[in-house]
Copies of this chain bind each other. A is one copy, B any other.
Amino acid sequence: MYAKFATRMDNIKGSAIRALLKLADQPDIISFAGGFPAPEFFPVKEMELVSKKVLEEDGMAALQYGPTDGLPALRKHICKLMEPQHIKADISEILVTGGSQQGLDMAGMLFIDKGDVVITESPSYLGALNAFKAYEPVFVEIEMDEEGMLIDKLEEALEANKGKVKFIYTIPDFQNPTGRTMAIDRRKKMVELANKYGVYILEDNPYGSLRFEGEIHPAIKSFDTEGRVIYLGTMSKIFCPGLRLGWIYGSPEVINKFNLIKQGVDLQCNSMAQRECATFFDMYDINAHIAKIVETYRNRRDLMIKTIKETFPKGVSYTHPEGGLFLWVTLPEGIDSKDVFEKALEKKVAFVAGEPFYPNGGNANHFRLNYSNMPEDKIVEGTKRLGELLTEMLG
């Protein structure tokens, strides 16, 4: 008998994060697992007014099919939203997507033939790795330090895989899972290397607007000279993930290809959600909204790091993110974070074990902590319980 399913299905595993959502749903678990935004900032009352206005003024269009590339009014707001990252985009260069996750899938579809090489940071966002795996690439991982991918290692990998690399996948700002930010000179150099080797850069930037301190780093896209950088953005972390709205910003050639792909994968994004988002941006100050989120997440990061300092044993290190949602904990070599995870669950604390973030596996001695989704008292309590557990295990 021949295989029922396509061979790619051998690669498609469930996301460790999604599997954890059910756990995180239990009210007595302190979850540092998902990448959920703080729901207390969702503008529920404002959205009531917004929805009413959209339906009253433009109801039929909001419930009907619409164009594949997305609502022009929303794309205009998206262009404006990227300006602080030194980006000057035109709406013809924007395609609205079902969150940035859909942009990741569509990039896989656009570029990857079976066996093509995708270069990633090591570690990298596991949802992206899972999306790409459906197209059966080979992953080449590039070691990082506190300033992002090591650029000489990147050049070596591009040279060693000449003619096989389709794109470099990077999350330059407050990376998932490490929280690290790529230095500005490395961004410039990455574009130079992409030009030299004729490859694309997929710049995934869900967290860039959530900077707690330090200066904004211009997007890699802002250094693009040959239309080789494709920028993915999302409303999920600065507005509402439930609306499933993100975007791709790229050259007209690339956006046209993504439009063709989008026609096949789901025709278009929700017409009403696009209008609600654009209308919210018309009626309210999104930057003031983002500033409130930033203040809270900064405070939560500070609390988590303070508690780590007070309670984690020696030999455990961690990153100090300048923004975003995550920090990354490194245990001594030989300690498997899955074991820590199982014991933590008994103490009613959840996080994501590190191994799935490495496209080729290994590196089990890391784990990711999210600090955006839990209130302050639970951040302190949950981190303390982890500290006690690690002290027991390592002490």
- Interface of A with B (CB < 8 Å)? 1-9, 12-15, 18, 21-22, 34, 36-37, 39-40, 42, 44, 47-48, 51-52, 55-56, 59-68, 97-99, 101-102, 104-105, 109-113, 116, 127, 130-131, 133-135, 163-164, 166, 198, 200, 236, 240-244, 257, 259-261, 263-273
Contacts and interface: CB of A to CB of B under 8 A. Distances in A.
B263 A244 contact: no
11 contacts: A2-B164, A4-B200, A8-B113, A12-B257, A15-B264, A21-B65, A51-B51, A52-B52, A101-B266, A101-B267, A134-B264
B109 A266 contact: no
B68 A47 contact: no
B65 A264 contact: no
Contact of A99 (B109, B116, B261, B266): B266
A201 to B, nearest CB: 13
Given A51-B55, A55-B44, A273-B272, A13 B260 contact: yes
A5 B200 CA distance: 10
B111 A6 contact: yes
Name the residue among A67, A105, A272 with the largest chain B CB count within 10 angstroms: A272
A242 to B, nearest CB: 3
Instruction: Give the number of times this chain occurs in the complex, counting copies.
Output: 2
A244 B264 contact: no
A198 B21 CA distance: 36
B62 A52 contact: no
Contacts of A166: 4, 6
A6 B55 contact: no
Given A7-B113, A110-B6, A133 B63 contact: no
A265 B264 contact: no
A55 B48 contact: yes
A113 B6 contact: yes
Contacts of A39: 60-61, 63-64
Given A127-B264, A242-B272, 7 more contacts: A9-B260, A14-B259, A36-B65, A47-B55, A66-B242, A105-B265, A273-B273
B266 A102 contact: yes
Contacts of A44: 55, 59-60, 63
Nearest to A3: B113
A199 to B, nearest CB: 9
B42 A63 contact: yes
A134 B21 CA distance: 31
Given A112-B6, A198-B1, A265-B102, A48 B56 contact: yes
